[in-house]
Amino acid sequence: MVCISEMDYEILLKNATLKECEKTVIANSEEAYLVPGGYKVKGLSLLGKAIPVGFSGNDIIFQYTKPCLGFFVLRLRNEIEELKILKAQYSKDKNVKKLKSKAAGPP
C-alpha cells in the first residue's frame, strides 16, 4: 500500500476548504484538471467527487484528503514519468475537466 509519508512532498496549503484547494492548485500550475474521485497520483487514491490536479514543469500539484485532518494541497517534485502517465490518462477521459491550459489560462 502506498503512503504519502513515504514520498518527498511539499505542503502548499493545509487545513483548507475545497474551494481554497482548487484555487491553490490552479494558481500554482501551468495546466490544471478536475478529475473524478478514485483517480490515483503515484498510487495514492484521490478522495472526493472532483479533485483538482495540476502540472507545473515536472511537478504534480494536487488536493489530498487526509481523513480526520482535512484538505491539503501537495507538490510532488520531478515526477516526469508519472506526469506523462497522468496527462495521457486525462486526455482520454471524458469525465476529466480541464481547468487551466498552458497557453490559454483559465477557461
Q: What is the pLDDT of residue 66?
A: 86
Predicted confidence (pLDDT) per residue in 1-55, tens digit: 678 888 889 999 999 999 999 999 999 999 999 999 999 999 999 999 999 999 9
pLDDT score for 22: 95
24-28, 78-82, 88-92 — most confident range: 24-28
Q: Helices marked H in the chain — which ranges?
A: 18-27, 80-92
Instruction: Say if residue 14 is exposed, middle or buried (CB neighbours under 10 Å; 0-12, 13-18, 19+).
Output: middle
Q: Kindly report the pTM of this predicted structure.
A: 0.89
Instruction: Give 75's contacts (C-beta < 8 A, 6+ positions apart).
Output: 9, 10, 12, 28, 59, 60, 61
Beta strands 59-66 and 44-45: pairing type? unpaired
Longest CA span, the chain? 38
For residues 106 and 68, give the distance between their C-alpha atoms in angstroms, rounded to a whole number.
32
Within 10 angstroms of residue 36's Cβ, the number of other Cβ atoms is 14
pLDDT of residue 98: 92
Q: Tell which residue, 62, 63, 56, has the closest CA to residue 102.
A: 56
